[in-house]
Amino acid sequence: MSKFDALWKYVSETGTDYLKLSYAEIENIAGVPIDHSFLSYKKELTSYGYKVGKISMKAQTVEFIKEQ
């Protein structure tokens, strides 16, 4: 079980092709703050039919894109 499972489930349940969430929204959904370990965990999202797009440290946002 991943510490980001709640986030992956949330993203997949939106059913949208594209979703952008702020770091604060991700922390609220996942229950843990986003940190460098997120880069290691992001590959898990592919099993939910999505991938992580652009991660903006300046804007503090992460894009999620539905895989085709």
Q: How far apart are CA 9 and CA 24, in angstroms?
A: 17
Q: How far apart are CA 25 and CA 68, in angstroms?
A: 25
CA distances from 50 to 29, 55, 58, 62 (A): 17, 14, 23, 13
What pLDDT score does 68 carry? 85
pLDDT of residue 1 exceeding 90? no
Q: What is the mean pLDDT of residues 45-56?
A: 97
Pair of tokens at residue 58: 């300046």
* Residue 44 DSSP SS3: helix
pLDDT in tens, 3-31: 999 999 999 999 999 999 999 999 999 99
